[in-house]
Amino acid sequence: METTDDGYTEWSHWQWFGKGPKHDPDEFLENGQRDIASVFYPLIGPYDGRDPAVLEYHLLSARAAGIEGFIVDWYGPNTYSDETFKTLLDMAETLGMQVAICLEEKAFFPPYSKANSREEALAEAARHIRYIQETYTQSPAYLHQEGLPVFYVFLGHEEGRLGPNTLSPEEIRELMNAVEPPLPFLFRPHWDPAYAETTDGAFAWCGDPEYRDWFYRTAEDQLSGNTISTFTGVASPGFDDSGVWGWGNGPRFRDRRDGEEYRENWREILVANPPAVQIVTWNDFEEGTTIEPAREYGFTYLDMTESFIAEYTGRPADLSDNDAAYLLYQLRMHLRINPDASLSGQLNAQREAWVNGAPPPVEAWREQTQSLLQHP
């Protein structure tokens, strides 16, 4: 979301003007909510992902539930996703969280890039990786595996005028020769033996039980055979991209079944015991895979996540602080309209104490919030 100098609001991910029903956040529905391109509505309403208060809310909410970091979809230097990642990385350093980048293979190819050949697309990929190495991976908040900066790769499925929007194993070898050490620790989705020599780890994506069973069995075999160094399991609550009409191709749907889909994913994780788990996703509202608190389901998925993480890691579960970041966010929003240096300093000190191990002052923040709502 961005407001231009002439007052126009560019809603980016929240709007949809393609095939299927239009969604314009400048219009309001009968329930008072903006008409966004999602089947779920964020608890804090549609937001700008570059807003430090929003990122603080995201990271602290995730941290309270036992999530250790975020993997961020990234489309290249000087894009909206790059601006967001800069602020997110700074906030992750402050809050003791980890973040990593997921490269989009399609971003190396037209129309995302100006490449006129596969050689130029490969050069674009190298430019992306070198930029991340020079700009981000030195941060203590950037995720590393075996001493190497972690890069996830989301496959480009489309066929373009340069051929498949996916790098071949030979092209990935060439790419790794074109960038400086330390080389990325690469995670690719699923498992493809053709990429065995160019991939360090594999990750599962959302799918049906048969897919997940195949992935866990295959990944464990590859790990035992030293073909990959590690793999990441998946916990996904469901899928519904009807807000963007399946990106113009017709909506796709995987029923949440009142949370049973998510519980089923986690029960499989507890049996397979993968080295790490990726939640798919925190806040992809367009595809309806969110666990970020939303008006339709509140903190339900955050609470479920913490309970399952407790079983997976042995970390004690305490659901009482899962709304603390939301309360803090409400107070931050009040301060934007009604500046108060004393309250701002108090909140910063309380947040720092929370990050350093003290329990958040949930009841105090709740009382402050209720008081401000009654007497703004």
pLDDT in tens, 276-296: 999 999 999 999 999 999 999
The owner of tokens 């990929």 is: 125
Helix axes 52-64, 300-313, angle to 10 degrees: 50
255-268 mean pLDDT: 98
What average pLDDT is seen over the chain?
95
Q: Residue 5: is its pLDDT beyond 60?
A: no
Q: How far is it between the farthest Cα atoms of the chain? A: 65
343-363 mean pLDDT: 97
Q: Residue 3: is its pLDDT beyond 70?
A: no
Helix axes 341-355, 324-337, angle to 10 degrees: 160
Q: Residue 245: is its pLDDT beyond 60?
A: yes
pTM beyond 0.75, yes or no: yes
Task: pLDDT band for 1, please (50, 70, 90 cuts).
Answer: low
Task: pLDDT band for 152, please (50, 70, 90 cuts).
Answer: very high
Q: Does the domain at residues 40-321 carry the CATH identifier 1.10.10.10? A: no
Q: Residue 6: is its pLDDT beyond 70?
A: no
Planar angle of CA 244, 8, 283, nearest 5 degrees: 35
Q: Residue 8: is its pLDDT beyond 50?
A: no
Domain coordinates in residue numbering, the chain: 40-321, 323-376
Q: Residue 7: is its pLDDT beyond 60?
A: no
**Residue 69: its pLDDT value, please?**
97
Task: pLDDT band for 372, please (50, 70, 90 cuts).
Answer: confident
SS (H, E, C) the chain: CEECCCCCEECHHHCECCCCCCECCCCECCCCCECCCCCCCECCCCCCCCCHHHHHHHHHHHHHCCCCEEEEEECCCCCHHHHHHHHHHHHHHHHCCEEEEEEEHHHHCCCCCCCCCHHHHHHHHHHHHHHHHHHCCCCCCECEECCEEEEEEECCCCEECCEECCCCHHHHHHHHHHCCCCCCEEEEECCCHHHCCCCCEEECCCCCHHHHHHHHHHHHHHHHCCCCCEEEEEECCCEECHHHCCCCCCCCEECCHHHHHHHHHHHHHHHHCCCEEEECCCCCHHHCCCCCCECCCECHHHHHHHHHHHHHHCCCCCHHHCCHHHHHHHHHHHHHHCCCHHHHHHHHHHHHHHHCCCCCCHHHHHHHHHHHHHCC
118-129 mean pLDDT: 98
